[in-house]
C-alpha cells in the first residue's frame, strides 16, 4: 500500500472559514490562568508573534491584536469535510485531529493512493490534481508519501514531499530530521534530547530492547509502525448518506459578503463528495446559525443536476445579492439530501447547440436565484384541443422540466395547418373577413364538454397586410379573431 499524508499546520486558524484581513488575529489556548498563542495569522506574524508566546505580553505590545479561542470542534468538522472531499482521490481515507490542549500536535489526513495512481494518469498527475484542489480550498498543507502511515506522517510534518517505498529509503529521508517531528510524547522527546539524541536516524538506530526498557511499550510500538514492522490498522472514515458540512466562523459576521469565502470552500469540498459518490445535485440548503440556536435557511436550486462548485457558487452569490441577514452569523451549514446520478455528457461533433442550451440554463438559473423561483416559468401542454386552453404556465425552467416531460408524455402530433404563437387572451368578435384563404382547419371540443365547440380556422389578411388567424364558430356562425402573425 502507498499512503499519502496531508499535514495541516494552520488548521486551528483556517478551520474558522475566515478570509485574509488587515487586523492581526491569533488563535489562543487557555490553561488555568495562562493564555498562550497557538497560531498567528499573516498580519500578526509580521509583528513577530508566533506559537507559544504569552498572549498578555503580545497584547500589551500590539493593542490592535484580536484573539480567537481555539475551537477543537471546528477543527474536527473541517477534517471531516476534507475526508469526504478526499474520497474523490482514494478508496480509503482516515484522519487524526490534533489534541486542542497541546501546541505541538498537528492534524493529519491519510489517503491510500496506491490503487488510484493509474486511474488519474500516474502518481505525479494525481498529486498535481490533489494539490491544485487543496490550493483552491485555501488550506496550508504539507505532503508526505510512504509505505507506512506513520512514515508518511513523519515526512509530511517535516515537509519532505519525497516518495519512500522501502525501509532503507525511509531511513535515508528521515535520518537527519529533528526528533521533534516524531509523534512521541513531549516527555519522551525531552528524555532523548537529554541523552544526546537529536535526530530521527539516531532514534531508529537504538536497540529495540533498550528503548523498551527506557520508555513505555508504546514508544517501541510506534517506531515499529513507523518502519512497517508492526501492523497499523486505522478505522476508515465513512461517507455519510446525507451531507452536512459545518463551518464555524470564529466571530459574528453581519454581512453576506464576508460569508462568500466560507461558502465557496464548503461548495468546493461538497464537489469532492459528489465526485466520490458519482452523483449530482439539483437543490441544496444553506443554514446560517445565529445566537440562541436561531437559524436562517436559504435554498439554492439548479435547472439541471450538477456537481460543479463554481456553478453552485454563482447561484449562491446571486441569491445573497439582495439578501439581508436578520442577525449576525456564527456558523454556516451546507445540507444536501437528494442526489441524482451523474449526467454523462456525450461528445458531439457539432457542439454549438449543446453549448447554447447550457448557457441558457445558467442564465435561467441566475434569474431564478436573484428574483426567486416564481420569476421563471415554463409552458406545459394540456389535453384540450381548443388553442386557448391547450397550454398552461408551470413553475420552473422550461429546460429543467423538458427532460422529465419528455419521459412521461408523448409529443403531440403537429397541427394540420399553421398556427401563430401570438394568441389573444380571448377571441375577439369581427366581421366576416374579405380575404380568408386556404382550407379551413376544423377544431372541435370533446362531446362531454358543455357547451360543445366547433370552429373552422382560416388564414386572413387585414387591409394593412397583417396576417390573421380567424375562425367561424359553428354554434352561431359568427367570425372571431384569435391570433396574429405580424
pLDDT of residue 287: 96
| Kind plus residue range of the DSSP H or E element containing 443 | strand 436-444
Q: Which three cell numbers stand for residue 40?
A: 498567528
Give pLDDT, residue 160.
93
Cell of residue 213, nine digits: 526498557
Beta bridge partners of 164: 146
* Other C-beta atoms lying within 10 Å of the C-beta of residue 462: 15
Give this prediction's pTM. 0.75
CA dihedral 95, 98, 100, 105 (to 10 degrees): 180
Please give the Cα distance from 475 to 486 (Å, whole number). Answer: 29
- Angle at Cα 234 formed by Cα 231 and Cα 239, nearest 5°? 150
User: Can you tell me the distance from the alpha carbon of 73 to that of 107, in angstroms, rounded to the nearest whole number?
Assistant: 13
Q: Which CATH superfamily is domain 243-343 in?
A: DNA polymerase, Y-family, little finger domain (3.30.1490.100)
* C-alpha count within 13 angstroms, C-beta hemisphere, residue 462: 13
User: Is the distance from CB of 5 to CB of 143 less than 8 angstroms?
Assistant: yes
pLDDT value for 416: 61
> In which region does residue 390 sit, left (phi positive, over 0), alpha (psi from -120 to 50) or beta (all else)?
alpha
- Least Cα distance to 246 among 276, 301, 289 occurs for 289
pLDDT score recorded for residue 414:
59
Alpha-carbon distance of 188 to 216, in angstroms, equals: 9
**Which DSSP letter does residue 160 get?**
-
Cβ–Cβ < 8 Å for 200, 154:
yes
Q: What is the pLDDT of residue 422?
A: 87
> Taking the alpha carbons of 134, 139, 145, 150 in that order, is the dihedral positive or negative?
negative
The alpha carbon of 47 is separated from its chain's Cα centroid by a whole number of angstroms, namely 35
Q: How far is CA 289 from CA 148, 296, 425, in A?
A: 41, 7, 48
Each residue's pLDDT tens digit in the chain (486 positions)? 999 999 999 999 999 987 767 788 999 998 888 899 999 988 888 888 988 899 999 998 888 899 999 999 999 999 999 999 999 999 999 999 998 888 778 999 999 999 899 889 999 999 999 999 999 999 999 999 999 999 999 999 999 999 999 999 999 999 999 999 999 999 999 999 999 999 999 999 998 888 888 898 899 999 999 999 999 999 999 999 999 999 999 889 999 999 999 999 999 999 999 999 999 999 999 999 998 889 999 999 888 899 999 999 999 999 898 889 999 999 999 999 999 987 655 445 555 555 555 566 667 676 776 676 677 777 777 777 778 777 787 766 544 443 333 333 445 555 667 788 888 888 999 988 887 777 888 888 766 666 778 899 998 888 877 889 999 998 888 999 999 986
Q: What is the pLDDT of residue 181?
A: 95
* Residue 212 grid coordinates: 523498551
pLDDT of residue 42: 86
Amino acid at each position: 500500500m502507498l499512503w499519502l499524508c496531508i499535514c495541516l499546520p494552520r488548521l486551528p486558524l483556517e478551520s474558522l472559514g475566515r478570509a485574509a484581513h488587515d487586523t492581526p488575529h491569533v488563535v489562543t489556548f487557555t490553561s488555568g490562568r495562562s493564555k498562550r498563542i497557538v497560531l498567528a495569522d499573516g498580519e500578526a506574524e509580521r509583528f513577530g508573534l508566533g506559537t507559544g508566546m504569552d498572549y498578555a505580553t503580545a497584547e500589551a505590545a500590539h493593542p490592535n491584536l484580536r484573539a480567537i479561542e481555539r475551537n477543537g470542534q471546528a477543527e474536527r468538522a473541517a477534517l471531516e469535510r476534507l475526508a469526504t472531499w478526499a474520497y474523490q482521490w482514494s478508496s480509503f481515507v482516515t484522519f487524526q485531529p490534533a489534541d486542542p490542549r497541546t501546541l505541538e500536535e498537528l492534524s493529519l489526513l491519510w489517503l491510500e493512493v496506491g490503487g488510484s495512481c493509474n486511474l488519474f494518469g500516474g502518481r505525479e498527475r494525481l498529486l498535481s490534481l490533489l494539490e491544485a484542489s487543496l490550493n483552491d480550498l485555501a488550506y496550508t498543507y504539507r505532503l508526505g508519501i510512504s509505505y507506512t502511515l506513520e512514515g508518511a506522517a513523519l515526512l509530511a510534518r517535516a515537509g519532505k514531499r519525497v516518495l519512500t517505498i522501502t525501509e532503507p529509503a525511509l531511513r535515508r529521508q528521515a535520518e537527519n530530521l529533528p526528533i521533534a517531528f516524531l509523534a512521541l510524547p513531549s516527555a519522551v522527546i525531552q528524555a532523548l534530547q537529554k541523552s544526546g539524541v537529536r535526530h530521527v536516524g539516531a532514534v531508529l538506530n537504538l536497540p529495540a530492547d533498550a528503548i523498551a526498557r527506557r520508555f513505555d511499550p508504546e514508544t517501541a510500538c510506534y517506531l515499529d509502525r513507523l518502519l512497517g514492522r508492526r501492523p497499523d490498522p486505522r478505522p476508515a472514515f465513512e461517507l455519510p448518506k446525507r451531507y452536512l458540512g459545518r463551518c464555524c466562523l470564529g466571530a459574528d459576521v453581519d454581512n453576506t459578503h464576508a460569508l462568500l469565502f466560507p461558502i465557496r470552500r464548503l461548495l468546493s469540498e461538497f464537489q469532492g463528495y459528489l465526485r466520490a459518490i458519482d452523483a449530482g445535485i439539483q437543490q441544496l440548503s444553506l443554514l446560517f446559525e445565529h445566537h440562541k440556536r436561531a437559524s436562517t435557511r436559504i435554498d439554492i436550486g439548479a435547472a439541471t443536476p450538477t456537481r460543479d462548485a463554481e456553478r453552485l457558487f454563482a447561484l449562491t452569490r446571486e441569491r445573497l445579492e439582495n439578501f439581508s441577514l436578520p442577525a449576525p452569523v456564527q456558523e454556516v451549514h451546507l445540507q444536501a439530501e437528494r442526489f441524482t446520478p451523474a449526467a454523462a455528457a456525450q461528445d458531439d461533433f457539432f457542439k454549438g447547440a449543446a453549448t447554447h442550451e447550457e448557457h441558457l440554463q445558467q442564465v435561467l438559473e441566475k434569474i431564478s436565484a436573484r428574483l426567486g423561483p416564481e420569476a421563471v416559468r415554463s409552458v406545459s401542454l394540456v389535453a384540450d384541443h381548443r388553442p386557448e386552453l391547450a397550454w398552461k404556465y408551470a413553475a420552473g425552467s422550461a429546460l429543467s422540466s423538458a427532460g422529465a416531460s419528455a419521459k412521461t408524455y408523448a409529443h403531440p402530433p403537429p397541427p394540420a395547418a399553421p398556427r401563430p404563437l401570438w394568441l389573444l387572451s380571448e377571441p375577439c368578435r369581427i366581421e366576416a373577413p374579405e380575404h380568408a384563404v386556404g382550407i379551413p382547419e376544423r377544431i372541435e371540443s370533446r362531446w362531454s364538454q358543455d357547451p360543445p365547440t366547433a370552429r373552422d380556422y382560416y388564414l386572413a389578411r387585414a387591409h394593412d397586410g397583417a396576417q390573421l388567424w380567424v375562425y367561424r364558430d359553428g354554434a352561431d356562425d359568427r367570425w372571431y379573431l384569435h391570433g396574429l402573425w405580424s
